[in-house]
Amino acid sequence: MDIAIIGANGDVGRALAVQIISRQLLTPRQRLQLVGRREGGSASALHGLRADLHDAFAEITPEIDVALSPEDVAADLILFCAGRTAPTSSTQMISRHDLALANREVFESYASSLARHGHGEELVIIVTNPVELGVEVFSRHLDPRRVFGMGAYQDSMRLRREIATDFGVRRQRVHGYMLGEHGDALVPILSRFWIYGFDEAENAAALRKLRGDRHPGDFAASVMTEKAVLAQLVRSNEVEQAFRHAESQPPDLRAVLLPLITHISGAKTAQSTAAITAEMVEQILSGGQSVIPAQVKLAASDWFGPAGVLGVPVICGLRGWSRVIDLGEGEIDGEERDCLLAASQVIRDRLTSWGLS
Ligand SMILES: NC(=O)c1ccc[n+]([C@@H]2O[C@H](COP(=O)([O-])OP(=O)(O)OC[C@H]3O[C@@H](n4cnc5c(N)ncnc54)[C@H](O)[C@@H]3O)[C@@H](O)[C@H]2O)c1
């Protein structure tokens, strides 16, 4: 298994290279390809990064090479983190629409080249935003079962971590999903929540505590309200107060709001994104079949809604994802189902507005 990181000179790409090597996801005989642009600083910086990685991890480095054009990408697993990112300051504005149009070209150039020059068995994990756009573009060129967006995985792990903190357990003991869009149309699926090791009564009490008197359909409006409060605090330079405000919210809201302030504080979320992407890679490479929440391109026969890109739990292995699980009749709350249908519509509308209908 060889891995390519597209956009390897970016903040996420560099952190991801360190994660892949330090977790020894590749043996010394396998290859890590660092992919950047010929123009700009990448061409020289990637050779520097290659040397730095050898210097840091001499005993465990895989073979590392540098590629500077889409035609030269050659790997079994492609981690896509190239392109523009949302600004880290609340005063610099680039609309999501402009970000999408800029990144659509980058997605297209690599997806069409992989379709022409790849071996046809590649798995692709999209990190670049909008994740749903990347999944849509790649799924038009490659087998959709081999394309994943890591947004739902990251959002679900954040939800589990925040819940774990409140109940004083390790994140690995918490089950629960954050599905839908990696954006404003996120859907926490608390009806699939439980803590391993708690009995039925303890889990029911934990769920009551978690939900309080809130309904799944209220979540999107709460996110919008709290985002406006935080944007105001960050604009008036009260970043510490913004973090305190976000930390006072319930776990599902914290899972969305804390990364948002982290990004606009200037720190970005490169380290956590790289760590969680590497964890997802580790699961996929384990060789077994695991359940991974991810944005994928669904056919209407895959779930209870229409065809399109959506964050859902899928069974996944080295040949890609095979089916959606945990969303059957009676498995989730009726209101959560409605929220997922609404999220799917939001994503379809956005893709149409970005020229992909
Ligand atoms: N999914 C998530 O949870 C998540 C979290 C953080 C960041 N992101 C996204 O990841 C992406 C990268 O973020 P970052 O902070 O590393 O940004 P960055 O600006 O630091 O890096 C982007 C890199 O992409 C490279 N690039 C641009 N066009 C390219 C092309 N055509 N070919 C090869 N390389 C190209 C740039 O040279 C740069 O090195 C952004 O879209 C960001 O929104 C996603």
- Please tell me the distance between residue 39's alpha carbon and the centre of ligand 1 in angstroms: 15
11 and 156 assigned to the same domain: no
CA-based end-to-end distance of the chain: 34
* Residue-number span of the structural domain to which 61 is assigned: 3-150
120 and 207 assigned to the same domain: no
59 and 17 assigned to the same domain: yes
Tell me which of 150, 183, 218 is where a domain ends: 150
28 contacts 101 by C-beta, under 8 angstroms: no
349 and 230 assigned to the same domain: yes
Tell me which of 135, 150, 165 is where a domain ends: 150
Q: Phi and psi of 175, rounded to 5°? A: -115, 140
Q: Is 138 exposed, middle or buried (0-12, 13-18, 19+ CB in 10 A)?
A: buried
114 and 223 assigned to the same domain: no
CA–CA separation, 239 and 350 (whole Å): 31
Please indicate if the annotation marks 8 as binding a ligand. yes
Residues 6+ apart with CB under 8 A from 305: 298, 340, 341, 344
What is the interface pTM, i.e. ipTM, of the complex?
Answer: 0.97
Catalytic residues: 182
Give the nearest ligand 1 atom to 127 CA. Answer: 1
Indicate which CATH number applies to the domain containing 245. Answer: 3.90.110.10
Q: Is 294 exposed, middle or buried (0-12, 13-18, 19+ CB in 10 A)?
A: buried
* pLDDT, tens digit only, all 357 positions of the chain: 999 999 999 999 999 999 999 999 999 999 999 999 998 888 889 999 999 999 999 999 999 999 999 999 999 999 999 999 876 765 554 577 888 999 999 999 999 999 999 999 999 999 999 999 999 999 999 999 999 999 999 999 999 999 999 999 999 999 999 999 999 999 999 998 999 999 999 999 999 999 999 999 999 999 999 999 998 898 888 989 999 999 999 999 999 999 988 887 777 889 999 999 999 999 999 888 999 999 999 999 999 999 999 999 999 999 999 999 999 988 999 999 999 999 999 999 999 999 998
Indicate which CATH number applies to the domain containing 97. Answer: 3.40.50.720
CA nearest ligand 1 atom 8, residue: 128
CA–CA separation, 20 and 322 (whole Å): 25
Q: Name the domain count of the chain.
A: 2
CA–CA separation, 291 and 333 (whole Å): 20
For ligand 1, whether the C-beta of 337 sits within 6 Å is no
155 and 143 assigned to the same domain: no
CA nearest ligand 1 atom 12, residue: 81
For ligand 1, whether the C-beta of 274 sits within 6 Å is no
121 and 159 assigned to the same domain: no
Give the nearest ligand 1 atom to 149 CA. Answer: 1
